[in-house]
Amino acid sequence: MQRIILPPGNPPANKIFDLRLPDEQSWKQELFLRKPFLADGSEVIMRADSIQAMLRTIEEECRFTGGLTGRYTLRQQVFDAMAAVPREEFVPDRFKPYAYDNNPLPIGNGQTISQPFIVALMTDLLEPDPDDIILEIGTGSGYQAAILAQLVKKVYSLEIIPELAEQAARRLQKLGYDTVEVLASDGSSGLPEHAPYDGIIVTAAAPRIPKALVEQMAPFGRLVIPVGRPPLPQDLRLVEKAGNKITSRSILSVAFVPFTGQAKA
């Protein structure tokens, strides 16, 4: 996924936030040009500066895209969660110097950790509350789950790639995110044994909204999911349930990595 740098004002409707893996050559060039965090005490200062820069960028992106998303800013709790989670702990060592850049980063197995703006936006779209139970489809590195853990009571996170699921579970446990439970599973069918969920978040592009996920939404629950078939642009959608009524609306054009479970068919 590559950052789209937007001009001041609202972005054109055809702007796409690309969340797929950048090509290897571009990363080699970037790594050659950038300097890593220093090994002495100045690393702490650099990290604090990096976090503040990330938060400012998220605010800027919100203003630029607000005409499309309806969100010219995000809830303060979301900004606080983004500041609190050590993003560098969720990326491979060689990419730690770039952890707080508003870019995706490779995490192995052809997957990425999403750029901070998209993580923050999708979190805010869920409108999480302290007593909420959230289902995440696509654990990846565990970063999105860690952000949610700052805001809700419980997070169940499903990851179809066993290696990533194991790594994320260990990482989250080490960092103290005890309210996150990671399971190695195809998320196409959700996790009915713990349903209903106040919010469901999907971090890979599905060709359609899985019926099982809609059925597992709590009354007044929310589902945030990119819909479409890579490599074509996808539509980040917000699905809301009010009683028996289901509504769905487009939020932003994005380009996520593809869903690899049964929903890919």
Residues belonging to the active site: 114
Q: How far is CA 77 from CA 71, 83, 92, 181, 228, in A?
A: 15, 10, 27, 22, 30
- Beta bridge partners, 239, equal 223, 248
What is the 3-class SS of the chain, one letter each residue? CCCCCCCCCCCCCCCCEECCCCCHHHHHHHHHHCCCCCCCCHHHHHHHHHHHHHHHHHHHHHHHHHHHHCCCCCCHHHHHHHHHCCHHHHCCHHHHHHCCCCCCEEEECCEEECCHHHHHHHHHHHCCCCCCEEEEECCCCCHHHHHHHCCCCEEEEEECCHHHHHHHHHHHHHCCCCCEEEEECCHHHCCHHHCCEEEEEECCEECCCCHHHHHCEEEEEEEEEEECCCCCCEEEEEEEEECCEEEEEEEEEEECCECCCHHHC
Cα dihedral 251/90/258/25 (nearest 10)? 110
